[in-house]
Structure 1
């Protein structure tokens, strides 16, 4: 016999994975990691013994529960399951998967529909950030049909609007963990920054790139990935993320260049051992913040507004990510107040996923 766990299988933004009610999973973190590895099939390049999709964007997990925090509707706990190595990282969060949290919470009965549009506040448990979401519920249930098109996703869907608050320094303790807009690591100038996601950001040209490389070109450039990883592993301790980040997906890496399609900045986002096919929501916010930060590595490359709130666009391999950034520049510093984005989500399947009883006999 196996243990059956209720779940929703959803696309959130440009990512995909199972969404669970926390009450249906083990509370013990070690046991939880074992269950999630079994669910996704972690440890095999094809995830052949699970429902993962062989890439970091398709081996993500959302765990939801009613929040006990006043003014918050849903707690969202994120887990990044490694598709290849039998590992689970509970430290980061994911804005794309967060796009599906509102719809999933309604589908699970954790949040009631409250009109043609259901508004709810989400707490990202991993980082403590608060996010206001608006989900389309015109007929008393979640609507997934709409005209909004999201680069990296075929067709169109109903929009899910997100407004992120309190994302500055949530993991590293400060926007600039080293206190500098630029640092030098392995002979490369970088900006070490924590806004929504801790990131190491470098100019693509400083690593011998044009900036318009495809995802496949970057993934096949072994020398580049090794050099980037060496920089990342030295950056981790400098950012207060621990002595050894080689087994963690944070910090992420952004390789930037001047925009070419009318955007604010062009970027390739590494997850961190492969190039993201589009752009992470959290990564987009961090890159937008870097773009408006005086003296950062984006200074002189980015096309940025003088003051916020303002619409910004991060160009990526599949199109662009729009970010409405509320910020204020004072001298050589910047205050980030909030960031708004529009994403989409879709319920793909619902039912019970099976895990061997040897992994968890509930």
Structure 2
């Protein structure tokens, strides 16, 4: 099933319909998406990281969750499949997909699906309309970066298990730039745009085409990877780098986020969650540029912040708390409204294999053999 989840688009599969062996699964998904090829002309991919994504969903017998969700980022012009990050946008489609595939029954009115995110081990609860026990994708909720409106999907993230400040410090210096490293769902490095000699209001394409900026960002990413406990991140899509500037449209901050070398035309859900939490940390780099209502920094209850990005904004509610004097801040709650829409449900015909064949039960090289079919 192909769904738009938030500001991303991806192919959703039941775990049982894919090869159990990760290498065979990844080979199949590369051929399904049409990678490696900058146009992905021979597959489902849309020639951009935001449209070259896969969600693998499976039933789960667990007191804390209903389904498992594994996110896979499929390389566009490289034969790469990465599970080193999560995707909060595709997360918006996991609940509806699980109901559509019969992994759990829908309620009459609204349904909440408890999701375990396998990439990180974190949990989320997605709530969406199901009148008459069927998923309804129509509605009046609009999100920036997506034309039209759709039914709201409310996603709530309970308290995370990892420290909000993975380096143990409010500020670090990486490649000569002051930064704040945060992790509220996805490892993110917050940097004042002015520290990198840009305004933070540039078009994403202009930022991508700046070789000096690209070199500086690469230095920061590599240093941050080690400092945040991620190791060598040369071939990884995390940590994200988010440039911060003063808001232009009444929000809390303007952002330009790199994933990792392409500049996001909007911002990811988990990236925005990390930015929002980071802005509320006393002494963080965000305080130098953000405009927060009084009481939204440091101690306090939940606060809804508007994170501006190249194509609009994302509203996110985040609550952080400080414990005893000198204790690190912790995130108590994060919630966001996204939308999702089913685009098509059917059969995909993977490109024939260029190397070794997949296991005998999956014979894709002969066009007369059965394709990968939906249930």
Normalised to the residue count of structure 2, the TM-score between the two structures is: 0.90
Q: Unpaired segments of 5 or more residues in structure 1?
A: 1-7
Question: Is the CA contact (8 Å cut-off) linking 2:277 and 2:319 kept in structure 1?
Answer: no
Give the drift of 1:168: 5.1
Between the two proteins, the alignment pairs up a number of residues equal to 350
Give the drift of 1:101: 0.5
Give the drift of 1:354: 2.0
Aligned-residue Cα RMSD (Å) equals 1.4
Q: Secondary structure at the match of 1:352?
A: coil
CA distance in 1, matches of 2:196, 2:318: 28
Determine which of 258, 279, 283 is the counterpart of 1:291. Answer: 279
Aligned match of 1:29: 22
Q: Secondary structure at the match of 1:282?
A: helix
C-alpha change, 1:297 and 1:52, in structure 2 (3 Å) is same
Determine which of 130, 139, 143 is the counterpart of 1:146. Answer: 139
Question: Is the CA contact (8 Å cut-off) linking 2:164 and 2:330 kept in structure 1?
Answer: no
Aligned match of 1:4: none
Determine which of 316, 325, 334 is the counterpart of 2:329. Answer: 334
C-alpha change, 1:136 and 1:149, in structure 2 (3 Å) is same
Question: Is the CA contact (8 Å cut-off) linking 2:200 and 2:256 kept in structure 1?
Answer: yes
1:163 paired with 2:153, answer no
1:76 paired with 2:74, answer no
Aligned match of 1:268: 256
Mapping for residues 313-352 of structure 1, pairs under 5 Å: 313-329=306-322, 333-352=328-347
CA distance in 2, matches of 1:351, 1:102: 19
CA distance in 2, matches of 1:329, 1:177: 16
Write out per-residue CA displacement over residues 184-216 of structure 1, whole angstroms, 9 at most, x where no aligned residue. Answer: 111111112211000122110000111111222
Give the drift of 1:240: 1.2
Question: Is the CA contact (8 Å cut-off) linking 1:37 and 1:86 kept in structure 2?
Answer: yes
CA distance in 2, matches of 1:202, 1:192: 9
Question: Is the CA contact (8 Å cut-off) linking 1:93 and 1:126 kept in structure 2?
Answer: yes
Give the drift of 1:328: 2.2
Aligned match of 1:56: 49
Q: Larger C-alpha radius of gyration, 1 or 2?
A: 2
Mapping for residues 98-247 of structure 1, pairs under 5 Å: 98-167=91-160, 169=162, 174-242=163-231, 244-247=232-235
CA distance in 2, matches of 1:226, 1:85: 20
Determine which of 337, 349, 356 is the counterpart of 1:354. Answer: 349
CA distance in 2, matches of 1:303, 1:262: 9
Q: Unpaired segments of 5 or more residues in structure 2?
A: 363-375
Aligned match of 1:97: 90
Give the drift of 1:122: 0.7
Give the drift of 1:35: 1.3
Question: Is the CA contact (8 Å cut-off) linking 1:168 and 1:196 kept in structure 2?
Answer: no
Higher relative contact order, structure no. (Cα contacts within 8 Å, ≥ 6 residues apart): 1
Determine which of 242, 250, 264 is the counterpart of 1:254. Answer: 242
CA distance in 1, matches of 2:246, 2:329: 21
